[in-house]
Structure 1
Amino acid sequence: MRNARTKILAVVRTPVGACSAALLVLLLALALFAPLLWGDRASAVDVDALQQGPTGAHLLGTDSLGRDILARVLVATRLSLLLAVTATAIGVVAGTLLGTAPSVLPRWAGRLVTSVVNIAVAFPGLLLALFFAMIFGVGAKGAVLAIGLAMAPAFARLTQTLAAGIAGRDFVAAARVAGVGRFRLLVRHVLPNIGEPLVVNATIGAGMALLAFAGLSFLGIGVQAPDYDWGRLLGEGLNQIYVNPTAALAPGVAVVVAGLAFNLFGETVAGVVGARSTVRFAMPAAAPAPAPASAARASTEPADGGPVLVVEDLRVAFPGATGPVTPVRGVSFTVGAGESVGVVGESGSGKSLTALGVSRLIEAPGVVSAARLEFLGKPLLGVPEAQVRGLLGTSLALVFQDPMTSFNPTRRMGRQLAEVSEQHQGLSRAKALTRAVERLREVRVPAAERRARQYPHEFSGGMRQRAMIAMGLMGEPRLVIADEPTTALDVTVQRQVLRLLAQVREHERADGQQGGQAALLLISHDITVVAQSCRRVLVMYAGRIVEELPTADLRTAARHPYTRALLASVPALDTDRDAPLALIPGRPPEPGQVGAGCSFAARCSFADERCLTEDPVPEDVGAVGGAHRVACWHPQGAGPAIRPGSGAQVDVEAAGGGV
């Protein structure tokens, strides 16, 4: 609360903030007290002072019945503001419901709602208001509904646009992996992050509603006698504008001042409210929550002691201008219990899309297909989301590339971590928060209780990455997918994060079962990081795995020209400083431009006619020390990757696209 008061005081000290606050307070005071102070004067008829100009007794003159115009303008403040705010509330609520409906409704119903909104937005707001006014009838109630529904399409379009921008953020994907339902995801993660522009537009919309009401009442469609608002007073004053211009000028000025107050207040709200909750929560002192029941644990064990993850012929496709685009093409691999597997390749090779496809995070119109996709012995494709939500939420942990976008900026860190346990393990709010603090301590976040009360922007980059790992540990993960977890971190923090991931793998589960170590799927463009952290490496290029081999044999037994080129392009301590850095010539093909044959043929010095027409399939080359598969028509012989200029077998030049 103190932080909120500080922000409010800071804004009020600005000229715009001070003006908006003063005007708003004045309007509220008039709405509350004007009918009590001047109500009798506004309704008193004086037959001796009909249609008089300004006098000492009547500062703005009188109307056709001798009633004081100034008093009537002041008293009309309550009804004018009440009707405008009510119509705005109807418009905001209806618009927000229409704008968020596609996120929670089935796809066909969402498309129908979106089409209706698009058609309604094409019509001018005033035309819609007049149309609805004719439907609901003449009077204040009909005008309120007419103006409110006329405002709804614009708010719906704004909500759709803002929600679509938030839906693609990593923290939404993380919440989905944690098993958060669509409605809860909308309320907890999407709406709080789009609240600020909605509030600002709502206050601006209130000023527009005020003007629309004045227009309808001026035309005789809105407020009816004996009630009156500023629009009705403006219409009455127009009849005597040549005798007493102030009769029409006063209500017109009132409409302008009120609209200005709402607009300025909207700008103030943008800087003050920010749609952030200011409720503090106390750190509970309860003991750590007990482990899940044994029956629940048993359901997360791989069938017959098999691998944790099985992927066969995984494909991810998106619609394109000339047909489907398939950036992931027939990826197959397995991850055993407690195993560490690395995935390397240049940007655009399909590494992250493979991880998203495995995690069921590819949104429509993207399509994920596979001959077999199983996690802990259970299929992930062709089954309703509700059936795998609990499994993925507790047994699969995701560590994204950018931890700043992986956390909801409007929620405290402790609450975000606790949501996993509340959702899947049935823990109370207090126990889940205690568990979150314990997990922060496990990943060596200092002052975990204090840090749990902070927002993501108050954490450093390395600290946010640790907190991201802690979120994955809120359950008992059997597989940790780390997508570029060390990108944009300095080398010291990189080492700490990699060491922490290794500790997570060795972390004994709470149930103490054998083979309970977590498996790791580490995605990186840095082949050196993978070589140091994993036992097996998958090399991807243009959406396919071109080589799979143990990391122990990586520098001595790599046989695919692309793998050898990646190794050759990594500088070492003995690299000649006078020689140009080794780069792989050319650039990877775009997903929609992959033709027949080997996708690496255009950059490979060993390519022949067969490479240009036939796509190689992965074959076992029988490497010593583990499975070794290569998808190449001309696999190279065993031996270290040699740098350019010293007899290299791979044509790596100093010009062209690099890694």
Structure 2
Amino acid sequence: MSILRTPLGLAATVLTFGVLVLAVVAPILWTDKANAIDTSNILAGPSADHWAGTDNLGRDIFYRTLVATRLSVELALAATAIAVVVGLVLGTASYLLGRRSGRLVSAGINIAVAFPGILLALFFAVIFGVGATGAVLAIGLAGAPSFGRLTQTLVASVGSRDYVSAARVAGVGRFRILGRHVLPNVSEPLVVNATIGAGGALLAFAGLSFLGLGVQQPKYDWGRLLFDGVSSIYVNPAAALAPGIAVLIAGLAFNLFGECIAKGLGVGVVGGVPELPPMAATLDDEQEPVEETHHEGTELVLDVRDLEVTFPGPNGPIRPVRGVSFAVRRGEAVGVVGESGSGKSLTALAISRLVGDPGRVDASRLELLGTDLRTADTKAQRQFLGTSMAMVFQDPMTSFNPTRRMGGQLAEVARHHQGMDRKQAMARAIDRLSAVRITEAERRAHLYPHEFSGGMRQRAMIGMGLMGSPALIVADEPTTALDVTVQQQVLDLLAAIREADDVALVLISHDVTVVGEVCDRVLVMYAGKIVEDLPAADLATTAQHPYTRALVAAVPDMDTDLAEPLAVIPGRPVDPADVPLGCAYAARCPLATTRCTTEEPPLESDAAGRRVACWHAGEPIDIEIQTLQEVEA
């Protein structure tokens, strides 16, 4: 209703409503007067009896213009409906068909959009023939490419959101994702453009009828009346002016109404971090206690060997992840650290099978609980991933579908994979929200994501992963954009779930200190490779790789001089498209030698099981840290 609060919005709404009402009532009230023939009053000018004069049969042009409103609007709406339906099919084809077929559809849309709409309409009008039906098809198909391009852009944007990726991890199929998670979130701009498109279709239809390609006698719309009126424009200009004004007002009404809707759309945000109940009261009471020595078990949950992620580039393939190998055991917490662009998140996405086209994932081994994840995407594999792995994404605001209630989104997992009915699935969702320390879970299950605080959304995302019985939780920067208090709450929750359910955890973070405190083992990544694998307890004291020691040295602590600028690692991270020969860190390393710049060091294990890729591992150095001002200079 916000569009009614502005003069323009109110005027556009009144105009549009008036046109629609006129289309309904005009044929009922004035058809007889519009069709009444008076041969004694042919081509008469405007008068008190005939406000816009008469035509060549003495019929009242004003009443004919009013009656023509219904057919004009009906045909315009029919053409708009065709444009919307065909545009939706074209726009969603790339998402549904996959990489190759999607490219062909995209190429066809791009070619069609390059032609002016009126040329396409004339082309289709010739194909479908003269008449109202042919004109509707012509205008509808001519408008479909532009609507398809808009749909394609919106679907691609929403399709990359975290809540869509979460649905894919949960094993939801493409058609269901499109109908439940993508299209509802692009409906507003599509409706707005459809409304504006109706005005354009009305004008286009009037144009075709004026050219003699649209409505044919004895039927008439505004374009046909305009065609007839032009023939007598020198005798009675009002004969052409009346239908012309009607076309102008109706087209302006639809266009302004659509634009006002676009300006009036908005979403409010409420927040607030509730007080958390004690952990003992929120853990699943049905779970039996697990001994704290769980991380010393030998059951292998995740086994990754020689993982590579490749994307096409202008100068050849780009490999942001280059031969990553590691394993995670039952109950073990493994942290992955490194600068932005080091390949941490892509590694997590590759494990979760979330690297979409045109990316390619290769590995000599990629197994979760002994199941090979390199096989083709099937319903069984999606169901397995949806129940055995939980993915906690980086941005809590985009982790959920904003158009659906929180409880329904969690319940979808139970209904899809566990065969629960609606009532059982909702009860399970409420139980999981309680388990992740969300107070008043039953009430909050009926709220929308924007009504949750950032910390609550992140905990609810963890709760979604716990709808099944996951053996592995992959948390990609789960504390980003949260204040330090909420960060600690989320990390405590992950630790408690790990302790209670013996779940393996892969925690990706920029914060070396957090990873050192939460995890058992730390993987340090640089330029798409693991350069060191060491126990978390040794991270700050006995790290071997110069890059690891530089990361630790760059983190401020309680002894940091507040009067001095913060320190950073000298140099810039390596561009994945231009990885140098030898050790990728050599250009920034104080220990680098000629061998480092020509020969890449292998990732080798020592007697204690630690791994490091460096020709000068463990050699004493003074970590050279620049200040931020020096780097910017």
Mark the CA change 1:334 to 1:57 in structure 2 (over 3 Å): closer, same or farther.
same
Q: What secondary structure does 1:507 align onto?
A: helix
Q: Does 1:380 pair with 2:373?
A: yes
Deviation of the 1:436 alpha carbon: 1.4
User: Aligned AA for 1:654?
Assistant: T
CA distance in 1 between partners of 2:493 and 2:98 (Å): 41
1:558 aligns to what?
543
CA distance in 1 between partners of 2:562 and 2:45 (Å): 93
CA distance in 2 between partners of 1:437 and 1:476 (Å): 16
User: Aligned AA for 1:604?
Assistant: C
Mark the CA change 1:541 to 1:239 in structure 2 (over 3 Å): closer, same or farther.
same
Q: What secondary structure does 1:53 align onto?
A: coil
Q: How does 1:10-159 map onto structure 2 within 5 Å?
A: 10-159=2-151
Mark the CA change 1:58 to 1:198 in structure 2 (over 3 Å): closer, same or farther.
same
1:397 alignment partner, one of 371, 375, 390: 390
The one-character-per-residue Cα deviations of 1:47-84 (angstroms, maximum 9, x if unpaired) are: 12111111121121111111111110000000000000
1:567 aligns to what?
552
Deviation of the 1:576 alpha carbon: 3.8
Contact 1:306–1:377 (Cα < 8 Å) also in 2: no
Contact 1:542–1:599 (Cα < 8 Å) also in 2: yes
2:446 alignment partner, one of 424, 429, 453: 453
Mark the CA change 1:581 to 1:305 in structure 2 (over 3 Å): closer, same or farther.
closer
User: Aligned AA for 2:471?
Assistant: R
Q: Does 1:309 pair with 2:302?
A: yes
The one-character-per-residue Cα deviations of 1:544-595 (angstroms, maximum 9, x if unpaired) are: 1111111122223211111111122222222344555432111111111211
User: Aligned AA for 2:485?
Assistant: T
Contact 1:196–1:275 (Cα < 8 Å) also in 2: no
CA distance in 1 between partners of 2:554 and 2:20 (Å): 70
2:577 aligns to what?
592
2:275 aligns to what?
none
Contact 1:582–1:653 (Cα < 8 Å) also in 2: yes
Q: What secondary structure does 1:334 align onto?
A: strand
Contact 2:99–2:357 (Cα < 8 Å) also in 1: no
CA distance in 2 between partners of 1:47 and 1:383 (Å): 77
The one-character-per-residue Cα deviations of 1:387-407 (angstroms, maximum 9, x if unpaired) are: 410111111111111111121
Q: Does 1:444 pair with 2:437?
A: yes
Deviation of the 1:521 alpha carbon: 0.3
CA distance in 1 between partners of 2:340 and 2:110 (Å): 37
Q: What secondary structure does 2:577 align onto?
A: helix
Q: What secondary structure does 2:390 align onto?
A: strand
Mark the CA change 1:577 to 1:15 in structure 2 (over 3 Å): closer, same or farther.
closer
Contact 2:92–2:152 (Cα < 8 Å) also in 1: yes
Matched residue pairs, number?
606
Q: Does 1:478 pair with 2:463?
A: no
1:649 alignment partner, one of 607, 622, 626: 622
The one-character-per-residue Cα deviations of 1:266-322 (angstroms, maximum 9, x if unpaired) are: 12433567799xxxxxxxxxxxxx99xxxxxxxxxxxx9741000001011111111
Q: Does 1:522 pair with 2:507?
A: yes
CA distance in 1 between partners of 2:298 and 2:557 (Å): 41
User: Aligned AA for 1:542?
Assistant: A
The one-character-per-residue Cα deviations of 1:528-547 (angstroms, maximum 9, x if unpaired) are: 00011011111111111111
2:170 alignment partner, one of 178, 198, 211: 178
Q: Does 1:265 pair with 2:238?
A: no
CA distance in 1 between partners of 2:564 and 2:226 (Å): 83
Q: What secondary structure does 1:650 align onto?
A: coil
CA distance in 2 between partners of 1:392 and 1:635 (Å): 38
User: Aligned AA for 1:44?
Assistant: A
1:419 aligns to what?
412
Mark the CA change 1:540 to 1:657 in structure 2 (over 3 Å): closer, same or farther.
farther
CA distance in 2 between partners of 1:64 and 1:70 (Å): 14
Moved more, 441-450 or 336-345: 441-450
User: Aligned AA for 1:355?
Assistant: A
User: Aligned AA for 2:69?
Assistant: T
Deviation of the 1:382 alpha carbon: 3.1
Give the share of equivalent positions with the same residue, in percent.
63
Deviation of the 1:602 alpha carbon: 1.0
CA distance in 2 between partners of 1:376 and 1:414 (Å): 29
Contact 1:313–1:372 (Cα < 8 Å) also in 2: yes
Deviation of the 1:446 alpha carbon: 1.9
Q: TM-score, normalised by structure 1?
A: 0.89
Contact 1:199–1:270 (Cα < 8 Å) also in 2: no
Deviation of the 1:654 alpha carbon: 3.0
2:493 aligns to what?
500
Contact 2:99–2:358 (Cα < 8 Å) also in 1: no
Q: TM-score, normalised by structure 2?
A: 0.92
CA distance in 1 between partners of 2:265 and 2:74 (Å): 23
Q: What secondary structure does 1:329 align onto?
A: strand
Q: Does 1:355 pair with 2:337?
A: no
Moved more, 444-453 or 396-405: 444-453
2:231 aligns to what?
239
Contact 1:199–1:269 (Cα < 8 Å) also in 2: no
User: Aligned AA for 2:623?
Assistant: V
Contact 1:195–1:275 (Cα < 8 Å) also in 2: no
Q: What secondary structure does 2:218 align onto?
A: coil
Deviation of the 1:250 alpha carbon: 0.4
Deviation of the 1:245 alpha carbon: 1.1
1:615 aligns to what?
600
Moved more, 517-526 or 386-395: 386-395
User: Aligned AA for 1:314?
Assistant: L
1:549 aligns to what?
534
1:279 aligns to what?
none
Contact 2:3–2:261 (Cα < 8 Å) also in 1: no
Q: Does 1:325 pair with 2:310?
A: no
Q: Does 1:192 pair with 2:184?
A: yes
User: Aligned AA for 1:650?
Assistant: I
Q: What secondary structure does 1:56 align onto?
A: coil
CA distance in 1 between partners of 2:473 and 2:565 (Å): 38
Unaligned runs of 5+ in 1: 1-7, 277-289, 292-303, 509-516, 639-647
Mark the CA change 1:133 to 1:590 in structure 2 (over 3 Å): closer, same or farther.
same
User: Aligned AA for 1:504?
Assistant: I
2:272 aligns to what?
none
Contact 2:397–2:457 (Cα < 8 Å) also in 1: yes
